[in-house]
Amino acid sequence: MALIYYLTQIQFEFGAIKLLRQECDRVGILRPLIVTDQGVKAAGILQKALDVLPGMPVAVFDRTPSNPTEAAVRAATELFHSKSCDGLIAVGGGSAIDCAKGVAIAARHEGPLKNYATIEGGSTRISDRAVSLIAVPTTSGTGSEVARGAILILDDHRKLGFHSWHLLPKAAICDPELTLGLPARLTAATGMDAVAHCMETFMAPAFNPPADGIGLDGLERAWHFIERATRDGDDREARFNLMSASMQGAMAFQKGLGCVHSLSHSLGGIDLRLHHGTLNAMFLPAVVAFNSQAESVQKERRLERMARVMGLKSAGDIPAAITDMNARLGLPTGLAAMGVHAAQFEQIVTGALVDHCHKTNPRIATADEYRALLDRAM
């Protein structure tokens, strides 16, 4: 049976941050904890959020690391309780939003976070007691503001997914103005994250035509505007479309993702310095080629349909086009340029085989096939 579920309230426009107080009132949040990071604070975006919440007792946790950890969730949860907060506002990229989702669990559920991880059978343990969350994205990549999942690094160093519709933000405030001037490298890396989401979920075999349509349109927007947004951080049209593509990728990936994310989650948990979106960009060409042989991909002409919206002549052109795009965006030439070594392959493969995205790829990869994908991505 196919499960198709849409979605949450989304405010999408330049200047939408001004609606934050309105959304707090609608959701019933009176004493929010804002979860953010030092970069967002330094850029003045945190202050923009605070400025539209006059008179509201607001606590701020601004120590979200680039890869959110259980330790950060624990610290934010302690602040949530000490300040008697009743709701959460995440202001930042996927890391801040995912950290806030971790707090949404930890603040109202007993025991360590691992009890609620998807691969530990924890999804059904996440209840409607989860703290209400409003998400304000400041990058265009993960789309976590409209997604039911979070990726967190636990105390045991595993990078695991947490999935429940109770974690879906009650409101998403998508304001492209907050992404103006985002550094080129971060724009490129997060933008390729959005591309990967749209492509992987479109190739996933689950039946969900609405997700397919949303993902394919998101791919078209991301593919045609990512270079403009990277080259000119103040290009409003490009920022608008890239933020839409990010949102759409996450709306669609309730279908599932695949080997790109299995590998990125695993490797990202091994080396916390590596950016998730950049890893996705490195793995995407090899995984698209690998998936081209999948029966479901061939039957429904998935690659041909992606090639069409990307403006390519044929499906076979997609892997090289992605590699060329990575180069034009100034991203690394491969995993080796990011400091990854073949000696790490076995650990990466072990993690990929148990990742929650492993079984939703259109071809279920073996250990040897994961090794081959790593070789090609080097």
- Tell me how long the chain is: 378
Greatest Cα pair distance, the chain, in angstroms, is: 59
Q: Which residues does residue 162 pair with via DSSP β-bridges, in sequence order?
A: 150
Of 287, 317, 294, 325, nearest in space to 197 by CA: 287
DSSP one-letter string for 218-244: HHHHHHHHHHHHHH-TT-HHHHHHHHH
Query: For residue range 201-249, what is the model confidence (pLDDT) as tens digits?
Result: 999 999 999 999 999 999 999 999 999 999 999 999 999 999 999 999 9
Number of other CB atoms surrounding residue 301 within 10 Å: 12
Report whether 262 contacts 361 (CB < 8 A): yes
Q: Which residues does residue 32 pair with via DSSP β-bridges, in sequence order?
A: 87
Report whether 164 contacts 155 (CB < 8 A): no
Angle at which helix 302-310 crosses helix 276-291, to 10 degrees, equals: 130
Reported in sequence order, the residue ranges of 207-365 that DSSP labels E, i.e. its strands, are none
- All residues at 6 or more sequence positions from 1 whose CB lies less than 8 Å from its CB, including other chains: none
- The secondary structure of 140-190, three-state, reads CCCCHHHCCEEEEECCCCCEEEEECHHHCCCEEEECHHHHCCCCHHHHHHH
Query: For residue range 310-340, what is the model confidence (pLDDT) as tens digits?
Result: 999 999 999 999 999 999 999 999 999 999 9
Task: Identify the helix (H) or strand (E) that includes residue 22.
Answer: helix 20-27
Rounded CA separation 138/243 (Å): 9
Task: Identify the helix (H) or strand (E) that includes residue 60.
Answer: strand 59-61
- How would residue 295 be classed by pLDDT, with cut points 50, 70 and 90? very high
- How would residue 269 be classed by pLDDT, with cut points 50, 70 and 90? confident
Query: For residue range 9-38, what is the model confidence (pLDDT) as tens digits?
Result: 899 999 999 999 999 999 999 999 999 999
Report whether 174 contacts 247 (CB < 8 A): yes
- Which two structure tokens, joined as six digits, stand for 96? 């801040």
Query: For residue range 70-122, what is the model confidence (pLDDT) as tens digits?
Result: 999 999 999 999 999 999 999 999 899 999 999 999 999 999 999 999 989 99
SS3 content of the chain, % helix, strand, coil (to 5): 60, 10, 35
